[in-house]
Structure 1
Amino acid sequence: SDGGSGYEFSQFNEIVTGCLCHEHVRDAYHVNQKIKQRLNFVPELQAELKKAIRHHDWSEIELVLTTAESTILIDEEEVETHQKEQIRLLKGYLNRNWDYLMPLYKRGLGENLRGIGTCESNHRPYSYRVKGHGKYWSKDGVRNVVYVIEGLKNETLEHAILEEMPEYNKQQSVQYKEALKAAHKQVAHQSHEGVRHGSIFHISSSSSSIGRLNKVLSTV
């Protein structure tokens, strides 16, 4: 989860009530985004902070943040105040989410698992199709779109369609297949005449506005 409103541990815990194990993790994309936003004045330390998170070592976190604070320009009061506030906010964010930043391999789920785990990045095939760009859906409509996307991702769509519409599997004629192939072939390049040149006769280019227009057309 990204930890936003409605996506806290308690919300997920309610969804999976009764499961034997619930491992809640912060989405890596949003964690990295927060680091980039807060430490934009010391980009060279961003990778070090990400490494400290992967190690899940709070002493490393404090070392990186202390180093970042030491780079602040104390002779510019406004900048100093802003950058110190960014560090304070980032430290608070990491502290609040510390339990959820523990990598999977440190949770006893298997040594080969790396990263902090994420499911949110897998939402993109759905969210890109059904959100934004002024799209609006009925409840049934958005459910059907998600079913189609899910079927394509899991390669189960054709099987599902055939169960409902066996006629979908009818063999197409040879002529139809050939026509389809022909339609997909790239059309051969055709040369074009391009821009035509124009001119206005019997008018001097220096005597009037029409003459100036003649000069422009002659140089096109």
Structure 2
Amino acid sequence: KFQSLGGRRSLFEYCLDSYHVMKYITGKLGFDKFLQKELRQAVKAYDYERVELLLDTVESYLEQEEHLERLSEVRAYLTRNWCWIRPLKDRNLPVSDGVGVCESGHRFYTNRMKKQGRNWTRQGAENMATLLVSIRNGEFERLYRATVSEPVFSEEIAMSASKALKVMKHKEHTIPQATIPVYGPKSSAMGRLSSLF
């Protein structure tokens, strides 16, 4: 799925951030605080031999079936995702950090694409995403100017809506006064309405 989303990029790196890995370990191994602490340190150090040693040792003395099952889930999770847990600084990449981009940077896109129950066609979503990426990368103005032969807006007419409204002259409105005429008895519907006012 990530490869299909990569688009024109020839390389992508999937990275599980430390917060979620540690949260998973803490949630599953709440029954053994010492194991939690040691395993978290081993994962932070990216030491798989130490992780295996800890898991094997604890598995040898656990007796409760529920605890053994949780330990097995942690082992499977770490084994399955070990290559994605490797810190960016330990990978042969031109960047050494930046997982926060995945965590907080997406809000710029999701706030525009998902809020208020918006629906998109595939082409519309791709167009909007391309537009947002160019704005985010600071390339929109250059790309826009390169594709439009004549500027649509000149600098002279660029002004805020509030400034334009202040310049406009408005006529004062008057509210006409009215009365409800009563051409019948006070017991009629119009008579009762008139007495209310």
Amino acid at match of 1:55: A
Residue in structure 2 matching 1:101, options 47, 62, 85: 85
Q: Note the residue ranges of structure 2 that are not aligned, 5 or more in a row.
A: 167-197
Shift of 1:133: 5.7
Residue in structure 1 matching 2:21, options 31, 34, 38: 31
Q: Partners of 1:81 and 1:55 in 2: how far apart?
A: 29
Shift of 1:146: 0.9
Q: Who is 2:134 aligned against?
A: 151
- Is the deviation greater in 62-71 or in 85-94? 62-71
**Contact 1:25/1:118 (<8 A) preserved:** no
Q: Partners of 1:167 and 1:15 in 2: how far apart?
A: 31
Please identify the structure whose Cα radius of gyration is greater: 2
Shift of 1:120: 4.2
Q: Who is 1:136 aligned against?
A: 119
Q: Who is 2:189 aligned against?
A: none
Shift of 1:85: 1.5
**Contact 2:109/2:129 (<8 A) preserved:** yes
Q: Does 1:52 align with 2:54?
A: no
CA RMSD of aligned residues (A): 4.5
Shift of 1:37: 3.6
Q: Note the residue ranges of structure 1 that are not aligned, 5 or more in a row.
A: 1-5, 75-79, 184-220
Amino acid at match of 1:81: E
Aligned residues: 161
Q: Who is 1:167 aligned against?
A: 152
Q: Partners of 2:32 and 2:164 in 1: how far apart?
A: 56
**Contact 1:52/1:58 (<8 A) preserved:** yes
- Is the deviation greater in 117-126 or in 54-63? 117-126
Shift of 1:142: 0.9
Q: What SS does the aligned partner of 1:100 have?
A: helix
Amino acid at match of 1:27: L
Q: Does 1:87 align with 2:65?
A: no
Amino acid at match of 1:155: G
Q: What SS does the aligned partner of 1:56 have?
A: coil
**Contact 2:14/2:84 (<8 A) preserved:** yes
Cα deviations by residue, 1:31-78 (Å, 9 ceiling, x for unpaired) = 345334423455776565343223221233245547877997x6xxxx
Cα deviations by residue, 1:190-220 (Å, 9 ceiling, x for unpaired) = xxxxxxxxxxxxxxxxxxxxxxxxxxxxxxx
Q: Partners of 2:7 and 2:35 in 1: how far apart?
A: 38
Task: Give the TM-score taking structure 1 as reference length.
Answer: 0.50
Q: Partners of 1:135 and 1:181 in 2: how far apart?
A: 31
- Is the deviation greater in 134-143 or in 32-41? 32-41
